[in-house]
Amino acid sequence: MPAADGRQCLADPSPAAVSETCLPPRAVGGKVLLMRASRIVPATAALIAIQVIHAAIPAKTDAEGYTGLVLGIIALIASIAALVGLRQDKSWARSLSGLTGVSVAIGFVLYHALPIHSYFTNPYFGTRNIGLLQWAPVIGAIAIGLWCGWEAFVVPNRDAVAPTPA
């Protein structure tokens, strides 16, 4: 629903709701994207939450160096920055969220899910003391990271790729 000043608004046109739900339109590929009204914000918030949950769950392994800790902190900072940027409608925030999400997903696969033992990995396969409690956030981080990538890179371009019926 268009507002008087040309902004795109959500369903509730009451004056109190307009200030909360009207967002400046952002054209991407001929499509108006409403950052705060899209699913990229909950996806990014979920990425932050799953990273914190993973960090809080103890996993007693002997293969870990500092690689996971350092890269995890960098990914968490990037996720927080993306969420703040999305809430402020910054043009770079969607890409940062997608890049961070895909990086987290790939990183979790390489670091935990592959049975390769090195200083740079901490594989969970075949390790005693690793159960569902430790695996659940790993699988969640991979899924949520891919969700962020989908929302950032596929959803804005979905109409541009699909052919228009004649």
Are residue 10 and residue 59 in the same domain, yes or no?
no
Domain for residue 61, yes or no? Answer: yes
Distance (Å, rounded) from C-alpha 86 to C-alpha 104?
18
pLDDT score recorded for residue 59: 82
Residues whose CB falls within 8 Å of the CB of residue 87, separated by 6 or more in sequence, listed in order: 36, 41
Distance (Å, rounded) from C-alpha 85 to C-alpha 123?
33
Distance (Å, rounded) from C-alpha 59 to C-alpha 138?
11
Are residue 55 and residue 45 in the same domain, yes or no?
yes
Are residue 80 and residue 137 in the same domain, yes or no?
yes
Are residue 29 and residue 46 in the same domain, yes or no?
no
Are residue 54 and residue 24 in the same domain, yes or no?
no
Angle at 156 between CA 108 and CA 75, to 5 degrees: 25
Are residue 55 and residue 31 in the same domain, yes or no?
no
Q: What single letter denotes the amino acid at residue 46?
A: A
Are residue 1 and residue 80 in the same domain, yes or no?
no
Are residue 85 and residue 135 in the same domain, yes or no?
yes
pLDDT score recorded for residue 4: 46
Domain for residue 163, yes or no? Answer: no
Q: What is the pTM of this model?
A: 0.75
pLDDT score recorded for residue 63: 65
pLDDT score recorded for residue 161: 58
pLDDT score recorded for residue 84: 97
What would you measure as the largest C-alpha separation in the chain, in angstroms?
Answer: 62
pLDDT score recorded for residue 12: 47
pLDDT score recorded for residue 30: 55
Number of domains in the chain: 2
Are residue 90 and residue 78 in the same domain, yes or no?
yes
Domain for residue 112, yes or no? Answer: yes
pLDDT score recorded for residue 106: 97
User: What are the residue ranges in the chain where pLDDT is below 70?
Assistant: 1-37, 62-64, 159-164, 166
Distance (Å, rounded) from C-alpha 144 to C-alpha 100?
11
Please, are residues 97 and 155 in contact by the beta-carbon 8 Å criterion? Answer: no
Note down the domain range covering 32: 1-37
pLDDT score recorded for residue 7: 45
